[in-house]
Amino acid sequence: MVYAISILALVLIFTIATKVPINMGILAFAGAFLVGGWVSGIPIDDIVDAFPGDIFLIVAGITLLFAIAKANGTINIIVESALRLVHGRRWALVWMMFLLSGALMALGSPMAAGMLAPIAMRLAGKKKINPLLMGMAINHGALGCAFSPITIYGAFVNGLIKSAGYEANPLLLFIVPFALNTLFLAVLFAIYGRDLIHELPEDRDEITGAGAAAPTRPHPSPGSGTASATAVLPDVDVIGRTPFNRERVATLIGILLLAVGSVAFNVDVGVSSICISTVLLLMAPKKMPRIEDKVAWPAVVLVCGMLTYMTVLKQNGTLDFLGDAATHLGSPLAAALILLYAAAIISAVGSSIGTLGIALPLAAPMLADGELGALGFIIALAFASTVVDVSPFATNGSIVVAEADVEDRQRFQRSVLAYCGLVVLLAPLVAWALIVVPTSL
């Protein structure tokens, strides 16, 4: 009876959060106390102790650091420098947007695709680039780098891997989804982008006047510490106008040290990002008032709430029950493929973090048998759960649809939905064939 109620509550949490604008983490916290304390008899103190303080520090710290980088103009410098490199070449614009979106995500921005969409989709219209190709370029770029050690996704999955008793490999978790997302975009480019190799006459000119995504804003003098703090991103016609200053240089150095330290020296990402953010705030204490409001608190609540609820399900035996049921499906490889497809389908219309928070613990008992390569399956599951965020029902996909420079937006939305259907159909199979099977032999 406890197992049935626990599973039903999990389904209700996911369903309610999908249908109404309530943070899934809030529902998960409530579920943890009701299911854990009332139904399962777990002491309230034990449920409170299940709160993932380390993950809280990571998500809060990296989103604070990125908010500072955006507010002090460091992100402007990165975007302007990248766009200046392509000189308007259409094929290069597509791949630069892919790399730029990936770089912003890898640096810690959960909304990398959303920040670039206003510029990228208008550039697509001006340069006669297929809008589906450009939209998916920024989506696959962001999703390909979603598992950087200093992103919400990377911290979440690496935390789950360690809590399950497996050895994490943050570098491999980052590289494999990036390679597979690159593969998907390469296939799409081969279909819709071959004509971009041939330049239009105006492609030889510098990009100017293409970025109508945001109104022109005044730019700071070289000594200023703030650059368009409320701007989404600079217009493309202001390439090179954001100057370097000590705050921006320090921010770039801090982000670089965080990335290298987390991969090469296994430093604590949460503690390091908060310390770096503190130094940057002390350098300009009056230029970024109330920057803490820019922390992705909804993501913090979502991640911590789901992890707390999953800990309750582990303590009351529900996860072991479900894992044992999964092992009776027959072949472990067949069970793995089924779970990959289930995660992809659910995530396409719901939360990727929520789906991962459910699927990874469910797979733990099946992985414990040793017939599946644990790390390979976890990476495949992470990829299958996030690549489907190209869906028009997901944040990334919906922003692309909203910002598209097209005459018939409904038709474009249908094309995005059709592409998402293909991704849902192919991504789990590709991940299973290229990652799960080879690591399980």
Interval 92-128: pLDDT, tens:
889 999 999 999 898 777 778 877 888 888 888 888 8
Distances, alpha carbon 132 to alpha carbons 53, 169, 435, in Å? 40, 33, 28
| Ranges 220-229, 240-249, 326-335: which has the least confidence | 220-229
Checking if the pLDDT of 37 tops 80, the result is yes
Q: What is the pLDDT of residue 36?
A: 93
Backbone angles phi, psi at 129, to 5 degrees: -100, 135
Q: Is the distance from CB of 136 to CB of 185 less than 8 angstroms?
A: yes
| Residue 348 banded pLDDT, cuts 50, 70, 90 | confident
CA gap 44, 133 in Å, rounded: 51
- pLDDT tens digits, residue range 40-50? 999 999 999 98
Residue 427: per-residue pLDDT: 96
- Residue of 195 and 265 predicted with greater confidence: 195
Per-residue pLDDT tens over the stretch 133-170: 999 999 999 999 999 887 888 888 887 777 667 777 88
Could you tell me if residue 295 is left (phi over 0), alpha (psi between -120 and 50 degrees) or otherwise beta? beta
Q: Percentage of the chain surpassing pLDDT 70?
A: 88
- Token match 């009876």: residue? 1
User: Taking Cα atoms as reference points, which of 394, 399, 391 lies closest to residue 423?
Assistant: 391
Q: Which of 66, 69, 87 is nearest to 77 (CA)?
A: 69
- Return the number of other C-beta atoms located less than 10 Å from residue 165's C-beta: 10
Most confident option among 21-25, 161-165, 181-185, 343-347: 181-185
Q: Is the pLDDT of residue 240 over 60?
A: no
Sign, Cα dihedral of 332, 337, 341, 344: positive
Closest residue by Cα to residue 99 from 130, 145, 165: 145
Q: Which 3 state secondary structure label does DSSP give 240? A: coil
Report CA 164 to chain centroid distance, whole Å.
Answer: 22
Please state at what angle helix 374-386 crosses helix 409-431, rounded to 10 degrees: 170
The pLDDT value recorded for residue 238 is 36
Distant-in-sequence, close-in-space partners of 228: CB < 8 Å, separation ≥ 6: 73, 76, 217, 219, 234
- pLDDT of 212 > 50? The answer is no
Buried b / exposed e over 38-50, threshold 16 CB at 10 Å, is ebbebeeeebeeb
Question: What does the pLDDT average to over 240-264?
Answer: 83
Residue closest to 340 by CA, chosen among 392, 383, 370: 383
CA pair distance 127, 210, nearest whole angstrom: 9
Dihedral of alpha carbons 38, 44, 47, 48, sign: positive
Question: Which ranges of 34-73 would DSSP assign to H, the alpha helix?
Answer: 44-49, 53-71
- Percent of the chain clearing pLDDT 90 (strictly above): 32
Question: For the ranges 223-232, 284-293, 403-412, which has the lowest average pLDDT?
Answer: 223-232
Tell me the longest C-alpha to C-alpha distance in the chain.
72
Look at residue 231 in the predicted model and tell me its pLDDT: 36
Burial class (CB in 10 A: 0-12, 13-18, 19+), 410: exposed
The percent helix, strand, coil of the chain (3-state, each to 5) is 75, 0, 25
Q: Identify the sign of the CA torsion 111, 258, 170, 378.
A: negative
Q: Which amino acid is at 260?
A: V
Residue 67 has pLDDT above 90, yes or no: no
Q: Is the pTM of this model over 0.85?
A: no
pLDDT at 180 exceeding the cut of 60: yes
Helix (H, G, I), strand (E, B) or coil at 247: helix
CA-CA-CA-CA dihedral for 23, 26, 28, 34, to nearest 10: -150
Residues ≥6 apart with Cβ < 8 Å to 36: 42, 46, 47, 312, 315, 316
pLDDT over 80 at 233, yes or no: no
- Average pLDDT along the chain: 82
Q: How many residues does the chain have?
A: 441
Half-sphere exposure of 394 (CA within 13 A, CB side): 31
Phi, psi of 268 (to 5 degrees): -70, 115
pLDDT value for 20: 84
| The predicted structure's pLDDT at residue 99 | 94
pLDDT band at 392 (very low <50, low <70, confident <90, very high): confident
Domains of the chain: which residue ranges?
A: 1-49+303-316, 52-285, 317-441
Return the DSSP state at 295: S
